[in-house]
Amino acid sequence: MEEFSLSTMIAVFEEMFGAWLFWAMVAVAVAITLAWIYVLVRDRALSFRKYLVAQLSMPFGAVAAVWFVMWITNSTLADIGGPIDWIVLLGVAVLGAIGLAILVYVVQSLMRGRQSEA
């Protein structure tokens, strides 16, 4: 890779995950993000109870994201080489944790509706 650009990264992710899976994951991420924005606008505030439950789900999201990437790439933890591999793996874990936390918050908000904090 001579240059680092968005199109290069999209090509790498399409090659790694396959075009259909990659764009399906992008569509799901956009849908969940739009649902989160809808919930925030509808409720006009964060519910700290829902936020706490969402934070408690974060380790599961991190582990699931790392496991998913390892499964898709047909690798194991023994295949991790240098520091960049660890940085990428940590980035995947962080994104998985944040993604699951947002999903859990949205699902709670859509299922329970708006509730008072008192």
Token pair 């764009």: residue: 23
Does a structural domain hold residue 13?
A: yes
Does a structural domain hold residue 78?
A: yes
Does a structural domain hold residue 117?
A: no
pLDDT for the residue numbered 115: 60
Amino acid occupying residue 104: V
Amino acid occupying residue 74: N
> For 58-116, what is each residue's pLDDT tens digit?
999 999 999 999 998 888 888 888 888 889 899 999 999 999 999 999 999 999 876 65
Please enumerate in sequence order all residues whose Cβ is within 8 A of that of 117, keeping only pairs 6 or more positions apart, or say none: 47, 48, 49
Does a structural domain hold residue 36?
A: yes
Count how many domains the chain has: 1
Other Cβ atoms within 10 Å of 76 Cβ, number? 8
Does a structural domain hold residue 65?
A: yes
Does a structural domain hold residue 118?
A: no
Domain residue limits at 46: 6-112
Greatest CA separation for the chain: 57
Q: In 3-state terms, what secondary structure has residue 30? A: helix
Does a structural domain hold residue 86?
A: yes
Does a structural domain hold residue 56?
A: yes
Write down the pTM of the prediction. 0.82
Cβ(101)–Cβ(58) below 8 Å: yes
> For 2-49, what is each residue's pLDDT tens digit?
677 888 888 888 888 889 999 999 999 999 999 999 999 998 888 889
